[in-house]
Chains A and B, each alone.
Chain A
Amino acid sequence: MGILDIMRISVASLNANQTAMSVVSHNVANMNTVGYSRQESVMSPAIPREDSGLLLGMGVELDSIQNVEDRFIAYNLTMSYQDLGFLSVKATGLNQVQEVFNESNDAEGLSAVMNDFWNAWSDLASNPESSSARESLRGTANILINEFNTANTRLKDLADAANMEISYIIDDANAKLDSIAELNVLIRQAELAGTTASDYRSERQQMMQELSTLLDYNYFEDETGMVTITVSGGLPLVESETVNHLELRADATNYGYYNVVAVSSGGQEFDLTDKMDGGEIAGHIAVRDEYIGEMRDKLDELAYTIVQEVNNLHTTGFNLSGATGVNFFAPLASVDGAAGSIQLDAAIETSADNIAASLTGSVGDNQIANQINALSDELTMNGGSATFQDYFSSMVSKVGSEAQNAELAYTHAEAVNSQLYNVRESISGVAIEEEMSNLIRFQQAYQAAARMLNAASQMIDVLNSIE
């Protein structure tokens, strides 16, 4: 055991504590880095040396710099972003959809205009000869048509926007898949030597979290430290360094909107469109196909039935020029797209005198006008169980409660997510108080080691001074 050993031990201590301080400074620097996991320096006693039957301690060694992380929590947190992404898009989307049918603020919407339309027939019944009642009815019918068209267009615009959004998100998701594959390679290379690639891991976890917001997927890590990302029951998107990208295919049976497919390296395509229930992509698909799709179908059904029922009665009546068999609305070929294509019949467009109010042909006969007005109270919808108004009201109620549920579910998902976030933060987050205490701790150890070195040096001086 010599003085040089003391010097060696002191130098090792200086080195170890200096490195520990650099880890502290790295932690502090990344305090606000999203997804960063704090690092810890792990020190242990160096291998002791045997000397004259004594086992002498040889000071400290810095074993490793460790990532402080609970992988189970990290997994749960990462997955919780899928609900959050899905519900956030769904809540925002439904909120916009319900605005199309919002008449709460006394806005003249479809419901109010339908009322005006039926009332106009009643006015005509009071004055079947009057050209002003006819003009007013025709005007009201045009407003009704316009209202249907507008609601239809607004729904279509929202669905189009959701569809565009999907195409942007796919690009983003693909870029993230690429990054994850690249990080896989970096982590494997770094960890071959037996260390932990903490920063790469933090970055990859963060990347997967962001991907979670977009996409419904699952992941697992293999023994080389690389993650495999799978979708829809095992189909891999990232497998070590290989990436199978997501692509879009226009679906002619669904207004030409995009289907989302995963393309394997062999060129095989797997349709994921209806197989995801998390992430923003699935949120936009649900809003586009399920919610807006349903509202468009219902709106079409309503428009179509009004056209059919009014025409059925109208064609049995006589107009002012004595003609019968004239349609009020232009006949529609099918329910599909009715709300967008509803319009007045050309004859009514030409002259309001072609409106048939009379059953017998006499000008003062108002029976058809009365019958058409009475349609508003007849059970014409849902296979004879609802009036037009009932049908529309339940549409509004449905979209309203869907929006309400989505909002509640989002709030809930947010709570779950922030709970998990806090748990992860409490494990992996950087706390200033802790880092500052560590800083002082290592600083003091550093000072003490320097002091040791100083003492050893003085000891050598003492020896050297012996004459």
Chain B
Amino acid sequence: MRITNNVIFGNTTRYISQNQSEYLKLEEALLTGRRINRPSDDPVGSARSLNVKKTLSALSQLERNLSQAEGFIEQTDLALGNVVDRLQRAIELTTDINGGTSGADEYASAATELDGIIAEVVRNANMKYEDRYIFSGYSTQTQPFDDLGVYSGGLSGEEIDMEIADGQYLTVNMTGDYVFQGGTDVIQTLIDTRDAIASGDQTLIANQLPLLNDALNQILNRQAENGTKSNRIDIAVDDVAALEEAATAILSDVEDVDTVEYSTRFAQQEQALQAAMLVSSRVLSQNFLDFLV
């Protein structure tokens, strides 16, 4: 084959530029730390990375939802705990007075204390979390109970659902009618008890005791129900963390450079490039004219 100057020059520049483009690709990967710097670097991997990023983004949203749900449920637990305390105190008071030989002063002071208990219970039944009445169903901006325990919040069935796992929702609220009036009307029971004590009528007072116990049990049950939600949240938090870890690992697998592998390839490519340049400088400097006199 005849070899002409254009072939030699053309081939030399082409080989060097091929080497250089491979060299630059590896350099880019090592500098950015990413295998994929544009979709064409790995079309399937790019799609996968976008999907994993979507998963990660959804997981971090679930984390936010979970902390929101947790706050709501803890606030509910706090309110119900306070109500339990107050009901126990009411039962104590009523038991003390029941069948005893109390005087008018004691009845009066017990009735006053019950007034305080009623106010406390109503206050807790009107508990807010982040400016929302937690026992008011969807009517979160409406105070659910007035001083007489009359309920004007949203009715049972108004469930505030928050997404806590992919496609799974947790009802974070319980409506006031269900908590305080579902079965025993807690506030009404306390009001009746106060009135009975104020009247000093032993029969009336004795009648209130089982009702108070019913009320206490009802709140304790609701508190337990709320507690199971806490457990679900704890599990969901662990799940999200595990999923996040897995997704991050996949993302790194898809996107990140294996430094050892790439450094080795980079070194190899560098050698190849240097060899190409060395050989070229030798080939290009061969000139027949140097040998002609």
Contacts and interface: CB of A to CB of B under 8 A. Distances in A.
B64 A429 contact: no
A104 B251 CA distance: 11
Contact of A390 (B42, B51, B137, B141): B51
A398 B47 CA distance: 9
B136 A115 contact: no
Interface residues of A, number: 67
Interface in B115-161: 130-132, 136-141, 154, 158, 160-161
* Residue from B44, B48, B53 having most chain A Cβ neighbours under 10 A: B53
A115 B52 CA distance: 11
A364 B160 contact: yes
Nearest to A415: B14
Nearest to B9: A32
A436 interface: yes
B282 interface: no
Contact of A125 (B2, B38, B130, B162): B162
B68 A127 contact: yes
A98 B5 contact: no
B46 A400 contact: yes
B2 A429 contact: yes
Interface string A390-404: 101110111111011
A427 interface: yes
Contacts of B41: 104, 400, 404
A401 B45 CA distance: 11
Contacts of B69: 126
Interface in A335-370: 358, 360, 362-367, 370
Given A367-B161, A393-B51, A431-B3, A105 B34 contact: yes
A115 B140 contact: no
Interface in A407-461: 407, 418, 421-422, 425-427, 429-434, 436, 440
B163 A400 contact: no
A362 B158 contact: yes
Contacts of A126: 64-65, 68-69, 162
A206 interface: no
Given A123-B64, A127-B130, A433 B139 contact: no
A430 B4 contact: yes
B182 to A, nearest CB: 19
Contacts of A364: 132, 136-141, 154, 158, 160
A363 B51 contact: no
B2 A122 contact: no
A382 B93 CA distance: 69
B51 A98 contact: no
Contacts of B11: 418, 422
Interface string A95-107: 1001101111100
A374 interface: yes
A429 B43 contact: no
A18 B22 CA distance: 51
Contacts of B60: 119
A426 B7 contact: yes
Given A119-B60, A122-B65, 16 more contacts: A98-B39, A104-B38, A104-B39, A104-B255, A112-B57, A125-B163, A126-B68, A362-B139, A364-B137, A364-B154, A389-B50, A401-B43, A403-B38, A403-B39, A404-B40, A426-B2
Interface of B: 1-7, 10-11, 14, 32, 34, 36-44, 46-51, 53-54, 57-58, 60-61, 64-65, 68-69, 130-132, 136-141, 154, 158, 160-163, 166-167, 169, 255, 287-289, 292
